[in-house]
Amino acid sequence: MDPRFSDISSSPENEIFKVVFYPDRIYHDAYLNATVSERYRYNVTEVRRKADITFIKAQVFQDGRFLANVFRIEYLASRLCETSREKNRFLQSQVLCNLKITLPDKSTVETQIALSFCNWVRAFQCEIWDNLDPVDGSSHHFKVLSQMGRKGTIVHVSNLDAALKQLRDIKIVEMNFREGATDEPFGYKINNDDATWDNDYMRSYQVPNTSTPSADGNTVHVDNYLVNFQRGWWLDSANVKPVRYSNAMMESINPAYNPDGTNIVEMKWILQRELGGSLVYFHEVNVTPGSFEGVHQHIGSEELYYIVSGEGIAYMGCDDDPAFDNTIPIVSQEIYCIGQKPVRELHVKPGKIIYTKSGGIHGIRNTSTTVPLIFVAFGYHCS
């Protein structure tokens, strides 16, 4: 790493930028496979994180000379550990990654890669290089050479060469994971039909294919994780059509349930699969005049509402915020799939914020018969 970077980022006026530059500071000094020898250096060009997955684009240099373009995959496997345990099996030394990459010309290449568990990063990992030959007039260090090969942690996959040659221009990477091909320690083969998978468990995304409220056709099911390397979005919510829902987060036993289906909440799903990390969506919600987004509890996820326009009533768990006092009324509400619970009743207007952690309860009602209540929401997994 250029020492000037450390000098600049450590100056008092730039202390905050340690957060901004975090990936560079970490990944240039991190354990990557060839760093077992000081003769190899990596230039990490881009990093994306999605749930348990870290996908790295990089270049590797040997003895100061360019050697290869690199994709590196690291996978923590927490979901796959759980699905395997449900079959009374445990993950051992390897898991399999099904990898699909979209090239700049929109064609795709696919392959399956074995990821081996690495104690240094405490994850299953593999690096795909577009060239395993040493630089001219040299030879590989034996510790790096020992990692190379079809079953190694540094591999060459010929049908990914085109993707690696266009490293910067690769934007779309899709992946799913399954347990290894052989049970350990018993040695029997695990076929696809019996294997356990982590394919972004029950993941779907929303598309306004029809204006019919709560239509199945607006839900697109996928069986993989999307890692998106697009570097920025310039968006206008006015150009995003909403997906419409009837009696959202509400059972028919709820007194607010409207059997004629006119209790409508509209959601503009502005960003979904494009997001990285644990973020699931960023959307704009329109609780139409007189409508009610049912009160519900978050488990293992968090959500933040920011009220943009309109006014109404929000409900939060009775003791979710310790700042609640006796001036905030307590009422009873039907909680989605849980039943009647006491909740706080809060007046909301533009600028009000509702932040709900895992275990928290919230919902929102538009009390106006003429004016929409609009808020933006971020939802993300926290476990």
In the chain, the N- to C-terminal Cα span, in Å, equals 33
pLDDT tops 60 at residue 88: yes
Contact 70, 85 (CB under 8 A): no
Which tens digits make up the pLDDT trace of 202-217? 789 999 999 999 999 9
Which tens digits make up the pLDDT trace of 149-197? 888 999 999 999 999 999 999 999 999 999 988 877 777 888 888 899 9
pLDDT tops 80 at residue 11: no
Confidence bin at 23 (pLDDT 50/70/90): very low
Average pLDDT over residues 95-120: 96
- In 3D space, the residue among 356, 249, 245, 363 whose CA is nearest the CA of residue 299 turns out to be 356
Contact 314, 348 (CB under 8 A): yes
> How much is the pLDDT for 186?
76
Mean pLDDT, rounded, of the chain:
92
Pick from 14-18, 83-87, 327-331, 355-359: least confident: 14-18
pLDDT tops 90 at residue 344: yes
Which tens digits make up the pLDDT trace of 244-253? 999 999 999 9
Distance CA 324, CA 302 (A): 20
- What's the half-sphere exposure (Cβ side, CA atoms, 13 Å) at 202? 2
> How much is the pLDDT for 193?
85
Q: Which amino acid is at 171?
A: K
* Domain boundaries along the sequence of the chain: 31-198, 204-381
pTM equals 0.89
> How much is the pLDDT for 25?
45
Contact 87, 186 (CB under 8 A): no
Confidence bin at 18 (pLDDT 50/70/90): low
pLDDT tops 80 at residue 27: no
**CATH architecture of residue range(s) 204-381:** Sandwich (2.60)
The burial class, CB within 10 Å (0-12 / 13-18 / 19+), for 105 is exposed
Q: 29 or 102: which carries more pLDDT confidence? A: 102
Q: Which amino acid is at 363?
A: G
pLDDT tops 80 at residue 4: no
> How much is the pLDDT for 181?
85
> How much is the pLDDT for 31?
87
pLDDT tops 70 at residue 381: yes
Look-up: residue for tokens 């060469």?
161
Q: What percent of the chain has pLDDT over 70?
A: 92
Q: How many CB atoms lie within 10 A of CB 48?
A: 17
